[in-house]
Amino acid sequence: MFNLKDFKMGYVIIYKSGQGKFGRAIVNAQLKAGFTQDQAEYTHAEVSGGGKHSINISPPVSKLVEITTKHKGRYIKLLRYNNSDYEKKGRYKVAYFSASLCNLGYDIRGVLKFMFKWIGNDNRLFFCSEGVADSLQKVYPEALGKEPSKVMPAHFAKSKEFTTVWEGNIQ
């Protein structure tokens, strides 16, 4: 049952998509990277601000959104990072670092790098999963085991470092 009380600050929300040309391109890039079809279908990631709020890193700039409006009807997984410190104070720090990315431009080159290896990413801008990984690694440097610019949304779906708190459609 969808309940906004499950959405706590610092939790990670991954969105199933694959719709449209851009979504299908992300799914295909993730499949080529070795993810399963189910994992590859998660094409967007955000850090929850608690309740109905999250930080949406998407073009043209990252911003605070209400998930019940921006993502209504989308299928998601709500994830909690597995660390003994996370529930006490870590998740609040993750949410803080994610919020600090608001109003930055979107790293289009970084996303295109997954499809075209010769393109470089912009180290001052972020794409969705890169911003989530960067925020998480500012608190837990060992999380995900790779630099943020190499993290795809499917990494969160695949990782054993996260527990699914809830999954289903946003209402």
Q: Where are the domains of the chain?
A: 4-169
Q: What is the CATH number of domain 4-169?
A: 3.90.1720.10
pLDDT 10s digits, 124-146: 789 999 999 999 999 999 999 99
> In what helix (H) or strand (E) does residue 167 lie, and over which residues does it extend?
strand 162-169
Nearest to 39 by CA among 158, 119, 135, 147: 158
**In this predicted structure, which of 103-107, 129-133, 158-162, 167-171 has the lowest mean pLDDT?**
103-107
Nearest to 166 by CA among 71, 46, 33, 75: 75
Cβ atoms 25, 108 nearer than 8 A: no
pLDDT 10s digits, 44-81: 999 999 999 999 999 999 999 999 999 999 999 999 99
Tokens of 120: 């470089």
